Amino acid sequence: MALALAIFLVVFITQVISWIGKSVLQETACNLYLHLVRRETMAKQRQLKADILTLKSELMHTSAQEEFAKWAKLRRKVDKGLADLETLNKELVGVKASFGATFQTVLWCFTSGVQFVIGWWYSRRAVFFIPAGVLGPLTWWLAFPWAPSGSVSCMVWQFACQRVIKILERVVRDLVEWRSRTHVAQPVPAEDAVPSAKKDL
């Protein structure tokens, strides 16, 4: 049963990753990587952005005609800051692209790759056996391709786990949608009419 549980967990984790979305996981992992490993680069980028905003604000409040020397100096600083920021951004884009390729490879290895290896390595091993005569002629199909007769093969068990998890996902989604429809806010009943003013004596 350990093999059956291991296969189910791998399939379940793969399906959870599919629900969350590989792009979402990659973006989250990349941001975490940048803040942990490239902390100095990220801090430099934030500082450059802040400095550029400050210089631009000062430049806007400086007259190019009355204070040309100061304006020209600020202009050069802004241009240099923008050039440095562009270089830094290109470096970070390269880091993100490299990280993304590595992350996708690792993710594939730990999901689809693991399923493939398990299916190949244990292709001749039974996940578990079925009592004789329970399924009749269908027994041979459950052992496909090379598992012992009367057993369930790794490939068939993987397929069964995938189908069951997807069915459960659909059931949960339908229940959530049904509950959301049945719990729609009911219209607030109109308040009782304000009683008419008492007649003057």
Confidence of residue 196 (pLDDT cuts 50, 70, 90): very low
Confidence of residue 184 (pLDDT cuts 50, 70, 90): low
Maximum C-alpha span of the chain? 102
What gap in Å lies between CA 24 and CA 17, rounded to an integer? 9
What is the per-residue pLDDT for 198?
46
Confidence of residue 179 (pLDDT cuts 50, 70, 90): confident
Q: Which residues are CB-contacts of 125 (< 8 A; sequence separation ≥ 6)?
A: 3, 147, 154
User: Do residues 154 and 144 lie in contact, with contact meaning Cβ atoms separated by under 8 Å?
Assistant: no
Residue 102 has pLDDT above 60, yes or no: yes
Predicted model pTM: 0.71
The burial of 1, by beta-carbon neighbours within 10 Å (0-12 exposed, 13-18 middle, 19 or more buried), is given as: exposed
User: Do residues 55 and 74 lie in contact, with contact meaning Cβ atoms separated by under 8 Å?
Assistant: yes
What is the per-residue pLDDT for 89?
93
Mean pLDDT over the full length of the chain: 86
